[in-house]
A and B are shown apart, each in its own frame.
Chain A
């Protein structure tokens, strides 16, 4: 075990996978000598060369389309979109091409490929460097959408994504990159895609989250225990699609109360799907209202610290709603 932050965990996992398999190439903007704007590919160009570490022109649709072509012809591409906010030109390639290749060929073609995407707010990124994009893509059959919250999960899930026979959209929350540290096993372990994780056990209510919000929820749950002696069970979704319904429902059936926290715009966000799942499958196990905390329905967060703070669900707000639900 070694303590790492999220950036180092992803860097090391990607590095080790590349060292072990020369079919893996990385492509994107500024990933060469610059090492990526978040330093995920720091030093890669010196070790693996510019044939495997490809600085591309500034064209997101092309980056994804190229990766698709590479995957069709025997490579294992890991594409990087510099910021989630810039992924939209690639929407057609991801939705019409990448996600559908296996289905539309009746299984004749498969696309092992990964699209890495730094996302999320809390870093003074304003309207175009802070967004949550998971709901757009989690809606698309054929695509797996992964959003780890801890260094170990990021490393283990990235390895699974690279080894997966199907395309994976791999979301890395920017605020967690250097803020969150944790123990990461030294061996090349994997974390399976499609499995949620109970990050904190409890019996009084269930809290479901992912990304930065997971950490806010864990902080709020600690405070709940300290101040009231009540225990929140905190579930890290980890994979947004396909959603691990079982882990969530098992917890809700145990606690009888559930809330979902996400920083995306509240309406039609991933939290809505989670809440709907609980309502459909565990309504008669509930002893309280289903709560959903999300960002307001405005175009991401303002640049001003006051506006950013007002947008992001924070630990205090989460704690107040947790308390309300626990006491219901």
Chain B
């Protein structure tokens, strides 16, 4: 059965400097502010579709920060705004996608927002069908091992994804070949409206790892450092040739599934408000102040500065050109279009 990573881990024990902690906090904050801005733009009619991240930022930044940008490979799903920020996306990149602009790095305005991808940053493009990226992660990890690299592939998904055949098939192959891959389940207990109890008969997704012959780890998704600790260990295992790990971060989504969803039909306001007591932004902020990494004034100043910077980047993205309709048939095959 899955092991549990406790909350007692300190940043010193994990090898994280105060600068690391501030950088991690900035990513969490930046994701939260991007999310809030995106919903505001949605209400203003400027963004037709928003996939929120709020509530997931702690487990996303905690896990993503343990990877090596530039060499490791990222396979996010649509809720992973904070993951792609750690991987190298700027807020402007996020909003170029939200506004479906020609310079949207993921797809040039072809895909819905939050369908991330960038060859330059090693972020693998994904689609809307769920869990299709799981065998891709296994294939990439196989290729990395075959080529003798130290590259690790990391792959994120929700608990609903674990019901798909591709999920089983990808994890099974990864276990057989002891591949350098880490699977991260962001378990927010709802696949849109379908509850975890309707999705599976078990409490911990991570228990399934036993069936594939590698470790499963359960971690509190609102505890950024606990997520980092679990991921750091998993990445070290993968790099050392010891094979995959399945990490399950218990988390919660504060907003509806998307801007088109109404979560009042399937969960109570009391439940949502209760979950916000474990807001990863607050939990991590408290850690920083309690450990004298930053005081409240510093965090407030960081927020004001981030907010202004994101607003500036939103303006840039908004004024960027739309895709030229004459490019509709371009880039279907190599050599088709510029």
Could you tell me which A residues sit within 8 Å of B by CB distance? 25, 51, 56-57, 59, 61-62, 64-75, 77, 89, 92-93, 96-97, 100-110, 141-142, 144, 165-166
Contact = CB atoms under 8 A, between A and B. Distances in A.
A67 B169 CA distance: 13
Given A62-B166, A92-B132, A108-B118, A75 B173 contact: no
Contact of A57 (B134, B137, B176, B331): B176
A108 B127 CA distance: 15
Most central of A65, A93, A96 by chain B CB within 10 Å = A65
A69 B135 contact: yes
B189 to A, nearest CB: 26
B322 to A, nearest CB: 13
Given A59-B173, A75-B143, A102-B331, 6 more contacts: A69-B138, A73-B139, A93-B166, A105-B125, A106-B107, A142-B333
Contacts of A59: 165, 169, 172-173
Nearest to A92: B129
Contacts of A74: 143, 147
Contact of A96 (B117, B132, B137): B132
A43 B127 CA distance: 38
A72 B140 contact: yes
B111 interface: yes
B170 to A, nearest CB: 6
> Interface SS of chain B: helix, strand, loop or mixed?
loop
A110 B334 contact: yes
Contacts of B335: 165
B129 A70 contact: no
B135 A65 contact: yes
B61 interface: no
B173 A109 contact: no
Going nearest first, the 4 A-B pairs with the smallest beta carbon separation are A69-B139, A65-B135, A106-B108, A62-B169
Contacts of B166: 61-62, 65, 92-93
Interface residues of B, number: 48
B106 A105 contact: yes
A141 B128 CA distance: 18
Interface string B69-111: 0000100000000000000000000000000000011111111
A66 B138 contact: yes
A292 B236 CA distance: 61
Nearest to B146: A51
A44 B334 CA distance: 31
B146 A75 contact: yes
Given A56-B173, A70-B142, A109-B119, A104 B110 contact: yes
B330 interface: yes
A69 B179 CA distance: 13
Nearest to B176: A57
B110 A67 contact: no
A274 B132 CA distance: 33
A102 B135 contact: no
Most central of B124, B139, B165 by chain A CB within 10 Å = B139
B332 A105 contact: no
A219 B70 CA distance: 59
A191 B191 CA distance: 48
A77 B135 CA distance: 14
Contacts of B108: 106
A51 to B, nearest CB: 6
Interface in B167-206: 169-170, 172-173, 176
Contacts of B138: 62, 65-66, 69
A25 B145 CA distance: 13
A68 B126 CA distance: 12
A112 B242 CA distance: 30
Contact of A72 (B110, B124, B129): B124
Contacts of A166: 333-334
A90 to B, nearest CB: 10
B332 A142 contact: yes
A10 B194 CA distance: 49
A69 B333 contact: no
A212 to B, nearest CB: 29
Contacts of A142: 332-333
B132 A65 contact: yes
Contacts of A107: 330-331, 337-338
22 contacts: A56-B173, A57-B172, A62-B170, A65-B136, A65-B138, A65-B139, A65-B169, A68-B136, A69-B135, A73-B73, A73-B143, A92-B132, A93-B166, A96-B128, A97-B136, A101-B125, A102-B333, A105-B107, A105-B119, A110-B334, A141-B332, A165-B333
Contacts of B332: 102-103, 141-142
Nearest to A62: B169
Contacts of A70: 139-140, 142-143
A130 B332 CA distance: 31
A104 B140 contact: no
B334 A103 contact: no
Most central of A25, A51, A71, A72 by chain B CB within 10 Å = A72
B234 interface: no
Contacts of B169: 57, 59, 61-62, 65
B144 interface: yes
Contacts of B117: 104-105, 108-109
B165 A89 contact: yes
B136 A72 contact: yes
A61 B136 CA distance: 11
Contacts of A64: 135
A96 B164 CA distance: 15
Nearest to B105: A108
Most central of A100, A106, A109, A144 by chain B CB within 10 Å = A106
Nearest to B108: A106
Contacts of B173: 56-57, 59, 62, 66
B261 to A, nearest CB: 22
A56 B111 CA distance: 32
A183 B173 CA distance: 41
